[in-house]
Amino acid sequence: MIALLGDVLRAGPLHALIGDTARGVPPRASNPRDIAWRGSQTIELAVELRIPEELPNEGRYAHARYEIGIDVGAEAESLSLSHETLYLVPERPMPEPKEPKSFPRTVSVPTTLQERQYKGWRTVVKKTPSGNDHFKGESSNWNNQFRLGPNRSALANLPEDETKFPIAIWVRRVFLEGTQTRRPRCGGDAARKPARISHPLPS
């Protein structure tokens, strides 16, 4: 999933699915509708990342939650982002498991992965269905709006300002650089050090 999200940021939703040899993006499907769930018009992905302690955060947030939707209902050449949101989320207690009242238990399947914004959540990046993109500082009232359109990721075009977006920039770096396929050379101190997901492997 991380690799796919990185390709959406890097090459856009269409080429993240059908491939782009110029950008080194492998094809995942000749027809994007083939990987949609049961004929759905939208492919949705959601991922939560634990925020490293060294990032400026003052302990207010524990996770970064990134949600994205790719509209595959239109013609393949006009594939677009239906929504995109990056939340900063405080620590949440795990719900207590409940004993089923009957067996087999009927489980309701959610119609969307989009979470409503709960109390204490902070929206840092948001793309609307119309293609407008909203950016809000992580610890200030700074905010701005751009119109990148439905084919370009808002997170990919986040302002490069680590004073306003230290966590969001880290999330973007994880998606773009966090999946490494190169093997480090054996031997030496570099090979004995643990590799962090947000940093390239030693060469």
6-57 pLDDT, tens digit per residue, is: 989 998 888 888 888 888 888 888 777 777 776 678 888 999 999 999 998 8
Interhelix angle 166-177/2-11, rounded to 10 degrees, is: 100
Is the pTM above the cut of 0.85?
A: no
The token pair at 112 is 């969307």
Three-state secondary-structure class, residue 68: strand
Three-class HEC string of 39-62: HCCEEEEEEEEECCCCCCCCCCCC
Alpha helices in the chain (DSSP H): 2-11, 13-18, 166-177, 188-192
**pLDDT, tens digit (0-9, with 9 covering 90-100), for 92-103:** 776 666 666 666
N- to C-terminal Cα distance for the chain? Answer: 25
